[in-house]
A = this chain, B = another copy of it.
Amino acid sequence: MTRKLETVLETLKGTHCAESLQSLVEDLRGIYDVEHVVYHALNIAGSPYAALTYTNEWVDRYIEEDLGRIDPVIQTAMRRFHPLDWKRLDWTPPGARTMLGEAIANGLGNQGYTLPIRGPRGQFALFTVNASAADRSWDSFTAETAQDLMLISHFIHQKVLEIENVEEKAPGRELSPRERDTLHFLALGYGRAQIADRLGISEHTLRVYVDSARFKLGALNATHAVAVAVSSGIIFP
């Protein structure tokens, strides 16, 4: 473990609020000698939840024009498990290049490295370091620092989940196997009649399962129940 990493994790232990998280990312900028450091959670405690070093102008601009919708970093990170290097992204979509140009004009470096992080209920965050550098020196930087960044990003996310006390509460009762089967097939788009047929039971029986699953999950209807079940990892569609 590098000394830098040690320092960071130590600081993180003493972090118990959003403000000190903000100062942590500012410190990280100096520690790793980069232009910007960003922790950006897309769906925690009212999006967006963030600790970042970008200028306010750029952040306002970004939010105002909803640039997240065309930002290739976000769009790509949502579908990836690995960290991603900005220069390997697809910048061809309309508006992407323009956005990058404006970003750089607003003080961003030309290089970036972003790690996607995912929580138990689909809480999704990005951890990004950004700097101005030539490709070659940036490559050696990322190669050296990749593991530090992975650990830091996870510990920060962990801390955020704690701060925002995202409960890890269980749903009232567990679902029974039949209830899970039912939700599973519902999530695949089948109707009650078809599912009942496939499970070899009467449609009325199946309805009982849908109802009890709905009740246990506190859902208003089948669609809601499926959404809850999928996002809680109860079923995998």
8 Å CB interface, A110-155 against B? 116, 118-124, 147, 150-151, 154
0/1 string, A148-174, CB within 8 A of B gives 1: 001100100110010000001110001
The 8 Å CB contact of A80, one of B168, B189, B230, is B168
Q: Are A79 and B186 in contact (CB under 8 A)?
A: no
What are the interface flags for A223-236 relative to B under an 8 Å C-beta threshold, 1 for contact and 0 otherwise? 11011101111101
A165-192: CB near B (< 8 Å → 1, else 0) gives: 0001110001001000000001111110
Q: Find out whether the CB atom of B236 lies under 8 angstroms from the CB atom of A80.
A: no
Partner of A120, one of B1, B78, B158, B188: B78
Q: Find chain B residues with CB under 8 A from A124 CB.
A: 233, 236
**Residues in B neighbouring A81, C-beta threshold 8 A:** 119-120, 123, 157-158, 161
A221 at the interface (CB under 8 A from B): yes
Interchain CB contact under 8 A, A224 and B154: no
Task: Mark A residues whose CB is within 8 Å of B.
Answer: 1, 42-43, 47, 66, 69, 75, 78-82, 116, 118-124, 147, 150-151, 154, 157-158, 161, 168-170, 174, 177, 186-191, 219-224, 226-228, 230-234, 236-237
Task: Give 19 A-B pairs besides A79-B232, A118-B120 with Cβ atoms closer than 8 angstroms.
Answer: A43-B236, A66-B177, A78-B120, A79-B121, A79-B168, A80-B120, A81-B161, A118-B119, A122-B233, A150-B154, A187-B224, A189-B221, A190-B220, A222-B223, A226-B227, A227-B230, A227-B237, A230-B231, A231-B237
